[in-house]
Amino acid sequence: MDKILLNQMAFYGYHGLFPEETKLGQRFLVDAELMLDLKTSSRSDDMNDSIDYGEVYNVIKEVVEGKPRNLVETIAEQIADELFRTFNLLEACRLKVTKPDPPIAGHYQSVAVEIFREKRDKV
């Protein structure tokens, strides 16, 4: 399956279980792997035969910078739902939502959730 990749998109949201997360907010990074057939668009050179990366970014931004949620898992699932609702050509997606600076004691680079969803999961 062909893929469109959008990596390390950065947003600012107010998600989390702790009061300081919903009050102060924090950065979220999103990686999106969109699976679809790109054969037609590569031959036609027409955006109508593909998925507009700018629109993908805006869909993800609306979710991440939108209504606060408790779990990163919920954010990932909502992104998948919106992507399938918006882009008919999308067959499957893999999404990784990263919190680089969660309020957890310890030494680590980040915490993240990754999900894989297929169109048939959404029917």
Positions marked active-site: 99
Task: Give CA–CA dist 47/114, Å, rounded.
Answer: 28
Residue type at 63?
A: V
The encoded tokens of residue 95 equal 């999404």
- Nearest in space to 55 (alpha carbons), one of 27, 86, 34, 85: 86
